[in-house]
Amino acid sequence: MKILVTGGCGFIGSNFIRYFLKSYPNDDLINVDKLTYAGNLENLSDLSQSPRYYFIRGDITDAPRMEELIHKGVDAIINFAAESHVDRSIEDPSAFMKTNVFGTFVLLEAVRKVFSKQPIRFVHISTDEVYGSLGETGAFTEETPLAPNSPYSASKTAADMLVRAYHRTYGLPTVITRCSNNFGPYQFPEKLIPLMISNAIEDKELPIYGDGMHVRDWIYVEDHCGALDVVLHHGREGEVYNIGGRSERANLVVAQTILDRLGKPHSLIRFVTDRPGHDRRYAIDFSKIERELGWKPSISFEEGISRTVEWYLTHREWWKKIKTEEYLNYYKRMYENR
């Protein structure tokens, strides 16, 4: 089997590539990544000599390039490629519309053009943010109406609808997954958990939006990779599968847990002005994938946090290179201008 992964140098994509190559020693994998700010070649540098791993620098919005790659013959595409940070989408939505919407369209069109001779399974990686926000109770199911509240989630919703339409109209064998918040190794330190960990290690303030009581369902990235594995091989075509960790935590509790794990004072926490359209709570009902495909998470939030903190402690050079002056200035603007 030959798999084409888009956006494989990012956080979840790079973890999936490691998982896949380890789990399927007879399969090959092609990784196409544009290498924007969150795509880091160092995430997979140890695989550069593997005869089963091929890296190609490319943009999924480049239709001729994507068609050329797909026409050479792949059995499946897993589309991780996306602009994914809500704050950045609020500051400049244009890149999100181009990559997340038009890029997905380009890939689907390339698959459609060869579908009659070359059936290709298309797994589209989405997000629970397409569902909008929850109250104090309940959880998102696959039947929950889509109600995105940020330019990022709106772009992912549009992409989901394109994938659905290409299955219904052209019969493409597509599957959509919507996962809760991931954390683990190689996550770009603009996201909550790696930002909290790296700042705490350096005794810097931990910025928390609003009152800190925005709730997210957390899943360790290795568990997410396992879910994608079963969806790729056994998921029903045309279906949506929610993936969750059954680990709801308020952002403030997450920060406090990290500080406790590192032996740092809670006084490092600083509350900052909330961001526009900030969804209050997410929770995922993943009973469908558990019932149909037999998947459920195996790593608890506490174990995952311990693993993640340890990884960032032992890989300081990796994240210190990323925390450049440009990155720090970006966050200074984000937190001080609100």
The residues assigned a catalytic role are: 128-129, 152
Please report the DSSP string for 155-169 in residue order: HHHHHHHHHHHHHHH
Check if the beta carbon of residue 130 is closer than 8 Å to that of residue 101.
Answer: no
Q: What is d(CA 46, CA 194) in angstroms, rounded to the nearest whole number? A: 22
Check if the beta carbon of residue 35 is closer than 8 Å to that of residue 41.
Answer: yes
φ/ψ region of 140 (left if φ > 0, alpha if ψ in -120 to 50, else beta) reads: beta
Query: Is 303 strand, coil or helix?
Result: helix
Q: What Cα–Cα distance (Å) separates residue 279 from each residue in 89, 112, 145, 147, 275?
A: 14, 36, 15, 11, 10
Torsion sign (Cα): 8, 13, 14, 19? negative
Query: Is 4 strand, coil or helix?
Result: strand
Residue 203: partners with Cβ closer than 8 Å, 6 or more residues away: 264, 268
Check if the beta carbon of residue 117 is closer than 8 Å to that of residue 104.
Answer: no
Strands 215-220 and 248-250: antiparallel
Query: Is 34 strand, coil or helix?
Result: coil
161-191: buried (b, 16+ CB within 10 Å) or exposed (e) per residue? ebbeebbeeeebbbbbbbbbbbbbbbbbbbb
